[in-house]
Amino acid sequence: MAIDGVLGAGEGSRTAAGDAFSGLSSEEFTKIILTELQNQDPLEPNDTGALLEQLSSIRSIQSDLELQNRLEAMVAQNELAGAAGLIGKRVSGLTDTSKRVEDEVASVTRTQSGAVLNLKGGARMPMGNLDEILAPVAEGA
């Protein structure tokens, strides 16, 4: 029984398998290797080195995915903090419906696609659509 047979041969199955193998303890890993050795045909032994290489690749892929997720979360937090610093400031850019707007930021919302500036006039501007931070309008002008 080779790892490809257990997990499937496609790249998507390796990524999904990464989740399953990320929690493997050393004891569980050893059991997999011993089970592999016990179940192979002595006249046609499997390449245990290939099994170890596949498991190592799966763990490496999982580690890369975890790192990517952590970096994405840090970027999202940083963007939200930057957007929060704009509350009370006048900004210019495109709304989420691609309409040009210039207004004061009332609040900020975190969405799956990033921080969104909620403007006093009711429009919503994704942080990526912000193109200018303007000087405040003088009172009585």
pLDDT per residue as tens digits for the range 21-30: 666 777 777 7
Residues 49 and 21 in one domain: yes
Q: List pLDDT tens digits, range 51-78.
A: 778 778 878 888 888 999 999 999 989 9
Q: What CATH code is carried by the domain that includes residue 118?
A: 2.30.30
Q: Are residues 57 and 75 in the same domain?
A: yes
Assigned token pair, 15: 């990524």
Does 72 share its domain with 90?
A: no
**Would 94 be classed as within a structural domain?**
yes
Say what the pLDDT of residue 113 is.
Answer: 87
Same domain, 8 and 43: yes
Residue that terminates a domain, selected from 39, 60, 79: 79
Find the domain containing 25 and state its range: 3-79
> Does pLDDT of 6 surpass 80?
no
Do 59 and 122 belong to one domain?
no
Q: Tell me if 140 is assigned to some domain.
A: no
Q: Token pair 């921080």 is at which residue? A: 115
Q: Does residue 141 belong to any structural domain of this protein?
A: no
Domain match, 44 and 73 both: yes
Closest CA to 3 of 25, 27, 29: 29
**Do residues 67 and 116 share a domain?**
no
Q: How many domains does the chain have?
A: 2
pLDDT in tens, 95-121: 989 999 999 999 999 998 899 999 999
pLDDT of residue 20: 62
Cα torsion through 70, 71, 74, 78, rounded to 10 = -170
Q: What is the pLDDT of residue 33?
A: 73
**CB-count exposure of residue 41 (10 Å: 0-12, 13-18, 19+):** exposed
